[in-house]
Every structure is written in structure tokens, then in C-alpha cells.
């Protein structure tokens, strides 16, 4: 699966070939089919394993002792850090979600895997800190979109993402999501 991430990052999802994967991991293509029925099975498995791996960062990082705003800020910073350090994974996820491999029935499984991340925002709504009349996925979309754009600008050299810029961008997001 790691080899799949590497190939998709450099060549795109359309450039992923089972024979190339087998060659890179030094097994015969027929042996690769012992583990995956076909390319689609490999791509879908890689997607879900990648999502689980990224969500694990948030499960391992639970600043429950912090006041809520600070807790959300720490999650915000962690999301930026992960997006900078896990470019291959985010590239793969984005390509998968736009591909014919993605099926609507996967949404429920994705929701189960990412439940802990959304629970942070749901807790803010329950405690009347975050806007409770807005779907929690919309709140996360704002956080996710902002961090994605910041990381894109950073990675392309258009900005130097500093602590101050992270704090300023979070302040804007916080103003948008708080009650």
C-alpha cells in the first residue's frame, strides 16, 4: 500500500499499475493478486488504510485537559502539521474521492472511521461553544478547507507558514464557528 501511495503521488491514480507495484516490492504480479483481487481492491484498501492512519494521529492526541478553544486550536495545528508531513496520503485521498473508485456507500464507513475527530466539534456544539444550528461536517469543512489552502500556499512557496499566521488563520476560523 505504501508503494501505491508513492506511485499515485508521482504519477497520479491513473498511473497506478499492478505490475509496477509488484516490481517495486519485488514480488511477481501473480503474488500481488493473492493479497488484492484487482486494482480496485488495492486502491480501495489503500484509501481506507490511509484514512485510518491519519485519524490515528488525532486519536493519539487528545488534549482533553485544555479549554475548548485551545483544544480546537491544537487540533487545527495538528491538522496543518499532518497535511505538511503526509502529502502523499492527502494527495491519494483527494484523487480517490474524485475517481470512479469512490462509491457513495463508502461514506458510512468513512464516517465511522472519522467519528472521533467529529466528536470534538460535536462536543463544542453540545456545550454551546460552537454554532449548534450548523451541521458539524460544515464546521469541519471550514477548518479542513482553511488548513488545506494554508498548506498549499506554504508548499508552493507563496507564503511561509509561521506560528503567527497559524494563530491568525485560526482566529478567523474560530470567529466563524463559535456560537
For cell 472519522, name the residue. 114
User: pLDDT digit string (tens) for 31-90?
Assistant: 999 999 999 999 999 999 999 999 988 876 666 677 899 989 999 999 999 999 999 999
**pLDDT score of 57:** 86
- Rounded to 5 degrees, what are φ and ψ at 130? -100, 155
The mean pLDDT of the chain is 94
CA 170 to CA 2: how far, in whole Å?
A: 32
Instruction: Kindly report the CATH number that applies to the domain delimited by 53-177.
Output: 1.10.357.10
| Largest distance between two CA atoms of the chain | 57
User: pLDDT digit string (tens) for 139-159?
Assistant: 999 999 999 999 999 999 999
**pLDDT score of 62:** 62
Helices (H), 63-113: 68-85, 87-97, 106-113
**pLDDT score of 132:** 93
- Give the burial class of 140: count Cβ atoms within 10 A of its Cβ; 0-12 exposed, 13-18 middle, 19 or more buried: middle
Q: How do the domains of the chain map onto residue ranges?
A: 53-177
Q: What percent of the chain has pLDDT over 90?
A: 89
Amino acid at each position: 500500500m505504501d508503494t501505491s501511495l508513492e506511485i499515485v503521488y508521482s504519477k497520479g491514480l491513473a498511473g497506478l499499475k499492478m505490475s509496477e507495484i509488484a516490481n517495486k516490492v519485488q514480488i511477481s504480479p501473480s503474488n500481488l493478486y493473492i493479497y488484492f483481487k484487482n486494482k480496485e481492491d488495492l486502491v480501495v484498501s489503500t484509501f481506507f488504510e490511509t484514512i485510518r492512519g491519519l485519524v490515528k494521529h488525532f486519536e493519539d492526541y487528545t488534549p482533553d485537559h485544555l479549554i475548548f478553544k485551545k483544544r480546537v486550536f491544537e487540533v487545527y495545528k495538528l491538522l496543518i502539521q499532518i497535511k505538511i508531513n503526509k502529502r502523499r496520503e492527502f494527495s491519494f485521498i483527494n484523487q480517490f474521492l474524485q475517481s470512479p473508485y469512490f462509491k457513495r456507500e463508502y461514506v458510512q464507513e468513512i464516517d465511522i472511521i472519522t467519528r472521533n475527530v467529529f466528536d470534538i466539534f460535536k462536543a463544542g456544539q453540545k456545550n454551546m461553544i460552537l454554532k449548534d444550528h450548523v451541521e458539524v461536517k460544515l464546521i469541519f469543512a471550514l477548518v479542513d478547507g482553511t488548513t488545506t489552502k494554508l498548506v498549499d500556499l506554504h508548499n508552493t512557496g507563496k507564503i511561509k507558514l509561521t506560528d503567527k499566521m497559524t494563530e491568525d488563520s485560526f482566529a478567523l476560523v474560530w470567529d466563524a464557528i463559535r456560537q
